[in-house]
Each structure stands twice: as structure tokens, then as C-alpha cells.
Amino acid sequence: MAKNTARTTPKPSTANGLKTARTTLRRKPDRGAHDFETIAAILDAGLVCHVGFAVDGQPYVVPTAYGRDGETLYIHGSSASRMLKTLAQGVPVCVTVTLFDGLVLARSTFHNSVNYHSVMVLGVAREATGDEKLHGLRTITEHLLPHRWEDSRPPTAQEMKASTVLKLSIEEASAKVRTGPPIEDEEDLSLPHWAGVLPFALVPQTPIPDAHVPEGTDAPAYVARYARPS
């Protein structure tokens, strides 16, 4: 999607961007990136993130919607949810976004792999309140489906109360990317097995109106022509 990238003015504080000891890739560092533009583009292209947090020493990984505005990542949920309650206390969190791009098929099982783009953001989430809370909700909605916020009823005061919005600063983060064909041992290249990549794409299908949309009503263009830029 990369739809939000243009809005931002990234200012990484060092040549290494958002790299810290905790986000430095120890293996295959050539697959890693710490520059803000790469990280932002992957975050903008994803639809769902996986949020990791621990309760009593047990890690939990929960999928949820998110949105990015500049260097801030927003997630939200019911004020009653365990995840939101836990995170609002200010505990360490990891938010990971993964784009699955394809299967990499090598002639040797050992060199089979997966093509993907992924981002890991570490930090402590804080609750967004007041105007920023509404802004966070809008950012999440517009991330999932640009133009939808204007074409729906805004939240009431009671609905705002029932939602918790958390923000996480994209300060400590890393991207990991694998693209391209399999990398094989020289002596395997003459084996008779087919090798290459089977790409995958997450493709929007035909919109399904609910039972209350008047018959013959077309889905709006921003729904019907939803496209997932690479």
C-alpha cells in the first residue's frame, strides 16, 4: 500500500536508523534493514499485525488491526480486552507485521525458504486520549480502507469510552526481507527437480453487501477497486 509514506518526514537519529542491540539482526544481516522508509512501507502494506506481550511470564501473540501516522503506530480494541488492559499498564510490547510473498522451492529441502517482508517494532505502548484517541481510530480505519472514515458514522461519546487506543512510537524497529529465487549449493543445480518461486498475493474479492443495502446499489469505488499496491 505504502499509502501513508508520502505524509511522513522521517528523521532517523543516526546512520543506523532505528537499530538497537535488541533489533540488530544476528543471522543473515543482509536480509535486514533499519531505515525508516523500508519499515514504514512494510507497515503500510500490511493489514493485520501480531501483538506480543507477556502476562505472568507467558507470552501471548494476538492479531489485530493497526494504522501508522508518521512515527506512531496505533492499535485499538475494546476497553475490556485483556490485551488492551495489559498493554495500557505500560509493559514491553512487540508488534510484528508480516507480508507473505511466496514459497521458495530449492532442489534441496535444506534451501527451501519463504519470500516475505516483515517488521518488528519494540517498545512500550501508551494510551492515546482526547483528540489523539479519535485521530488514532481514524488512522486505523483509513489504513484498512482509505476513504472509509468519511463514509461512515463517527463514534459517539459512549463508543469512544468503550474503545481503548494505544500508541507505540516507531523508534526501535527492524525490517527483514527475503526476495528472489532459491540460493542453492552449486552441486545441486543439475538435479532434476524444478526450482523457483511460487508467488502469493492477497487479493481483494467481490464486495458482498449486507442485507440492508438497497438492491442494485453498487459498492463505492474505494471498496470495489480496492487494490494492494506492491
Tell me the C-alpha distance between 200 and 152, whole Å: 32
Selected from 6, 157, 211, 227, the binder of its own copies by CB under 8 A is 211
Strand partners, 100: 116
Q: Closer CB to its own copies, residue 10 or residue 62?
A: 62
Q: Could you say which residues in the range 33-52 bind its own copies, by CB under 8 A?
A: 47-48, 50-52
Query: Among 16, 54, 129, 230, which residue interacts with its own copies (rule: CB under 8 A)?
Result: 54
d(CA 155, CA 157): 7
Which C-beta is closer to its own copies: that of 16 or that of 213? 213
Adjacency order of strands within the sheet including 92-105: 32-33, 172-178, 113-124, 92-105, 48-55, 58-69, 72-78, 163-169, 126-127
Q: Which of 78, 75, 69 is nearest to 94 (CA)?
A: 75
Minimum distance, C-beta of residue 20 to its own copies, in the bound complex (Å): 11
Which listed range, 9-17, 67-75, 125-133, 159-167, lies at the site for its own copies (CB under 8 A)?
159-167
- Rounded to a whole number of angstroms, the minimum distance from the CB of residue 49 to its own copies is 9
Binding residue (CB under 8 A) for its own copies from 6, 11, 131, 212: 212
